[in-house]
Structure 1
Amino acid sequence: MRRVLTKLLAVLSLAVASTAVGLVTTAGAAQADGCYTWGRTLSEGMSGEDVRQLQIRVAGYPGTGGVIGIDGAFGPATRSAVVRFQQAYGLGADGIAGPNTFNRLYALQDDDCTPVNFAYAELNNCNSTWAGGNVSAATARFNALVTMWKLQALRHALGDQQIRVTSGFRSQACNSAVGGASSSRHLYGDAADLGAGPHSLCTLAQAARNHGFAGILGPGYPDHNDHTHVDGRPSRFWSAPNCGVGGRSMRDPLDDN
């Protein structure tokens, strides 16, 4: 259930904060949240589970071609991602995650930690237990969560208009049934196929370069003229030749369908 009142209060608190002059971010918990509540201000050099939870939510802000490590260590890449997130939402962009940044994140998430505009069901129309893929069910579900936060960043960058997910996690049985590649990232839970809607497939492929996706396949790549595929493969491979993205036309060893 959407936490309408909680989100409204968070948004109002942000509006009040934006009118304050010379506001200084201080340590301490921001507004309590049903998913996760941060209890301290985070900055470069710190580490812990609270840093890892922050990294999950700013994973879509690494800069062009970048990927944020979800390792609980607040390094330069995490700081840069926090800066970009803050800039995207009109916050003071100092790279320090304090109450204003946390309140913005609280307003963007549901009680199950998914971003407000995406849900686990969208990333799994195959096997609700998340089992049967190439990783454990817990890993597949976690990978899908990170993917959703990247999609939330992509959605915001494209004017907060709908992004239509047509395929997400697949078990081996589901992947075989739809003719997916044996090495498909869908088997790992970190892939999503995006259909055209408010945005063209090329717009999606082009913008995805800025939001933490190592894999991007789209129009002009074999079998991808009707969708744009994004994923979190270990090394970068972009190919959507009709969109000016990448440009390789041969099949990648991690090709996806």
Structure 2
Amino acid sequence: MTIRLFRPLLAMVLFAMSLFAGTVAMAGAAHADGCFTWTRTLAQGDSGSDVTQLQIRVAGYPGSGGLLGVDGAYGPATAAAVTRFQQAYGLPANGIADTATFSKIYALQDNDCTPVNFSFAELNNCNTTWSGGAVSAATAKANALRTMWKLQAMRHALGDVPITVTSGFRSRACNDAVGGAADSRHLYGDSADLAAGPHSLCKLAQQARDHGFSGILGPGYPGHNDHTHVDHRPSRFWSAPSCGI
């Protein structure tokens, strides 16, 4: 009788221990969402599509006046950007993209890979599709995603208060309708016009210098006294004379 009672009790104890062990094993694991899951720690010398995905998300941390290439190669610039990202969120800052780093990224992104505080709809409020611009629809949408992650970094640096995007990607027809320049960066999907809100237009323009935007136009530049424009054009062009840049 004792043996018969002991066996069920032992089975229950072993089952409980297995559940506890499973909980312990998962406690340090990153929780991915429906966008992208990193399956390895990344550090200098690594390369691949998972590095590219990381670079997109930390491109807003290149350092003052810097730009981070999205090329799939984990070099010193990527390590430095990861370090700044880690510092910004109070993580151990060693430039190595580890479980803690990925967990924070997962917490910051939605299932469509956009950062939680921005959306594709915000970056395309003039068109029903991403076609009709200066690049393919896929490229325009990818460019907009990179812009959003830079804006997310900028938003965090400004105290996590909202940043209002008034214009993003435009087709040529839409650009013409709003009187945009013939060679507007909006046609490439890599730009955003920002409205004043909790922060002034000058504050937005000045902060953009630290978050990977190569193009910054603001108050004092013709046609930009009512908004700050940011983009990631091939070469740097900053002009907001009223703001000291």
Q: TM-score, normalised by structure 1?
A: 0.84
Structure-2 residue corresponding to 1:151: 151
Cα deviation 1:171-225 (Å, max 9, x = unaligned)? 0000001110011000000000000011100000000000000000000000000
Checking the alignment, whether the CA contact within 8 Å between 1:52 and 1:73 is kept in structure 2 is yes
Kindly indicate whether residue 145 of structure 2 is the aligned counterpart of residue 136 of structure 1: no
Distance 1:155 1:227 in 2: 16
For 1:214 and 1:238, locate their aligned partners in 2 and report how far apart those are by CA, in whole Å: 7
In the alignment, is residue 59 of structure 1 matched against residue 59 of structure 2?
A: yes
Deviation at 1:150, TM superposition (A): 0.1
1:84 CA drift (Å)? 0.4
Unpaired runs of at least 5, structure 1: 1-15, 18-28, 246-257
Query: What is the correspondence of 1:76-225 to structure 2 with a 5 Å cutoff?
Result: 76-225=76-225
Q: How many residues align?
A: 219
Question: Which structure is higher in helix share?
Answer: 2
Q: Is this contact kept in 2: 1:30–1:39, CA < 8 A? A: no
Q: What is the identity, as a one-letter code, of the residue corresponding to 2:47? A: S
Mark the structure with the bigger radius of gyration. 2
Equivalent residue number for residue 235 of structure 1: 235
One-letter amino acid matched to 2:100: N
Q: CA shift at 1:32, angstroms?
A: 2.6
Residues in 1 aligned to 2:96 and 2:34: alpha-carbon distance in whole angstroms: 23
Counterparts of 1:186 and 1:151, CA distance in 2: 16
Amino acid at match of 1:39: T
SS in 2 for 1:120: coil
Task: Please state how far the C-alpha of 1:41 moved relative to its aligned partner.
Answer: 0.1
Residue aligning to 1:10: none
Q: Deviations over 1:144-182 (max 9, x none)?
A: 000000000000000000000000000000000111001
Q: Which residue of 2 aligns with 1:68?
A: 68
Q: Find the residue that maps to 1:140 and give its secondary structure.
A: helix
Q: CA RMSD in A?
A: 1.0
| Residues 108, 115 of structure 1: 8 Å contact kept | yes
Partner of 1:248: none
CA deviations over 1:205-256 (Å, ceiling 9, x no partner): 00000000000000000000000000011000000000011xxxxxxxxxxx
Equivalent residue letter for 2:141:
R
The code of the aligned residue for 1:234 comes to P
**1:44-93 per-position Cα deviation (integer Å, ceiling 9, x unaligned):** 11000100000000010001111111110001111110000000000011
Give the 3-state SS of the residue equivalent to 2:81 in structure 1. Answer: helix
Which amino acid in the other structure matches residue 42 of structure 2?
A: L
What is the aligned-residue identity percentage? 76
